[in-house]
């Protein structure tokens, strides 16, 4: 007879991230990283912190970082909760605020695949709400559910992997009509053209917004993410963090993140270029016969009626280009393509035109 723990361990169902290949000469359009290096000011700040601060423990409260981000977003410091990437902040959110006995949390059936993983790990009951036929998130469908059976709702805006965004006004209606629910908006991709809900933080006690420096600030390797909310709600995350007795972010991450928020022109220049490239790539893909969902993110979600997505993925790989495919039946005909540099996207189009011609 096998030990109890050996069967139990097999029930733990981890998140499987996109491939990080060892081969370095691939065009990597599979995990929504930025194609640009971080701002030179960020690299300087990290170098400086390495020389001056690395022998010291980091601040347990990340106070300099919280102050800088609060200033940037016109929030107060106690409305900012940093962590090691927004995946870690999400873990704190699920543990701290989503484990209500006898109630469910809601999220779309097609969304960031980490949400169901956290639910299973932390024993959180959840219900999926199907996307509309056009793949948009329809908040009326959430409002149609019996409110007393629900404790929280979470969705990315723009959604992943569709890239489609909904307006702030619509989310505000949900906040007004369901003040008893926690409404969590995961804004990992918000800087590429969607409307942020951060300006609503002061108004709504039930709103929590998550952001990351991994995408629009080119810092996926540094691992810095945030939750923004009123302090009463953030207290749930703070208590979870305190239980782990861990520092939110290390000294190099703190120095780099502060510098990233200070270099606004680099941020604007790089996000603008990604948005322009996204629009050009979308047009070129449509010209090759692809359906391209309207994206406000740094990736596009595409399908071709005559070509199998898994086969396209394999063909692109043989052209040294990595993209992402998901097995969920409703989106199995789609590929998610991260926006690279203009040159990378031109190479992608050249390869695809050979493959689908």
List interacting residues with ligand PMP (CB under 6 A).
85-87, 112, 156, 160, 186, 188, 212, 214, 220, 225
Minimal distance in Å, beta carbon 205 to ligand PMP? 23
Question: In 3D, which of 331, 318, 355, 327 has the Cα closest to residue 27?
Answer: 318
Burial tier of 314 (Cβ tally within 10 Å: 0-12, 13-18, 19+): exposed
Distances in whole angstroms, Cα of residue 190 to Cα of each of 42, 168, 198, 261, 318: 21, 11, 11, 15, 32
Measured from the CB atom, is 30 or 212 closer to ligand PMP?
212
Question: In 3D, which of 45, 36, 94 has the Cα closest to residue 240?
Answer: 94
Contact criterion met (CB below 8 Å) for 180 and 174: no
Minimal distance in Å, beta carbon 288 to ligand PMP? 26
Measured from the CB atom, is 260 or 352 closer to ligand PMP?
260
Minimal distance in Å, beta carbon 92 to ligand PMP? 12
Measured from the CB atom, is 207 or 352 closer to ligand PMP?
207
Minimal distance in Å, beta carbon 225 to ligand PMP? 4
Minimal distance in Å, beta carbon 120 to ligand PMP? 17
Minimal distance in Å, beta carbon 309 to ligand PMP? 19
Measured from the CB atom, is 112 or 266 closer to ligand PMP?
112
Q: Residue 151: which H helix or E strand, with range? A: strand 150-156
SS3 132: coil
Distances in whole angstroms, Cα of residue 191 to Cα of each of 50, 77, 112, 153, 268: 29, 22, 17, 22, 9
Distances in whole angstroms, Cα of residue 166 to Cα of each of 197, 248, 250, 282: 11, 31, 34, 19
Burial tier of 101 (Cβ tally within 10 Å: 0-12, 13-18, 19+): exposed
Measured from the CB atom, is 234 or 352 closer to ligand PMP?
234
SS3 81: strand
Minimal distance in Å, beta carbon 10 to ligand PMP? 25
Measured from the CB atom, is 17 or 199 closer to ligand PMP?
17
In angstroms, rounded to a whole number, what is the distance separating the alpha carbons of residues 331 and 325?
9
Contact criterion met (CB below 8 Å) for 259 and 39: yes
Measured from the CB atom, is 85 or 236 closer to ligand PMP?
85
Minimal distance in Å, beta carbon 197 to ligand PMP? 14
Measured from the CB atom, is 87 or 191 closer to ligand PMP?
87
Burial tier of 154 (Cβ tally within 10 Å: 0-12, 13-18, 19+): buried
């Amino acid at each position: 007879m096998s030990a109890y723990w050996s069967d139990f361990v097999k029930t733990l169902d981890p998140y499987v991230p996109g491939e990080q290949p060892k081969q370095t000469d691939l065009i990597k359009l599979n995990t929504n990283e930025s194609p640009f290096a971080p701002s030179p000011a960020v690299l300087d700040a990290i170098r400086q912190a390495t020389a001056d601060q690395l022998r010291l423990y980091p601040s347990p409260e990340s106070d300099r970082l919280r102050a800088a981000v609060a200033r940037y977003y016109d929030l107060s410091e106690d409305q900012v909760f940093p962590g090691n990437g927004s995946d870690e902040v999400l873990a704190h959110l699920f543990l701290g605020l989503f484990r209500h006995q006898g109630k469910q949390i809601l999220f779309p059936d097609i969304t960031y695949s980490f949400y169901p993983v956290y639910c299973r790990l932390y024993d959180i009951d959840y219900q999926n709400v199907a996307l509309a036929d056009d793949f948009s998130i329809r908040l009326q469908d959430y409002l149609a559910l019996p409110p007393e059976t629900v404790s929280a709702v979470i969705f990315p805006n723009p959604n992943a992997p569709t890239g489609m965004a909904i307006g702030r006004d619509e989310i505000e209606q949900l906040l007004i009509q369901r003040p008893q629910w926690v409404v969590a908006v995961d804004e990992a991709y918000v800087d590429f053209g969607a409307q942020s809900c951060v300006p609503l933080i002061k108004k709504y006690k039930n709103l929590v917004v998550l952001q990351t420096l991994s995408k629009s600030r080119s810092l996926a390797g540094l691992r810095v993410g945030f939750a923004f909310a009123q302090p009463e709600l953030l207290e749930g995350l703070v208590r979870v963090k305190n239980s782990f007795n861990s520092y939110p972010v290390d000294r190099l991450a703190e120095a780099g993140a502060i510098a990233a928020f200070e270099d606004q022109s680099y941020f604007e220049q790089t996000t603008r270029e990604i948005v322009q490239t996204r629009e050009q790539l979308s047009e070129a893909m449509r010209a090759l016969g692809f359906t391209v969902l309207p994206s406000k993110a740094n990736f596009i979600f595409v399908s071709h009626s005559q070509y199998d997505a898994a086969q396209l993925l394999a063909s692109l790989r043989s052209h040294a280009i990595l993209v992402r495919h998901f097995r969920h039946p409703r989106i199995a005909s789609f590929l998610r393509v991260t926006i690279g540099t203009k040159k990378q996207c031109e190479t992608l189009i050249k390869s695809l035109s050979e493959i689908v011609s």
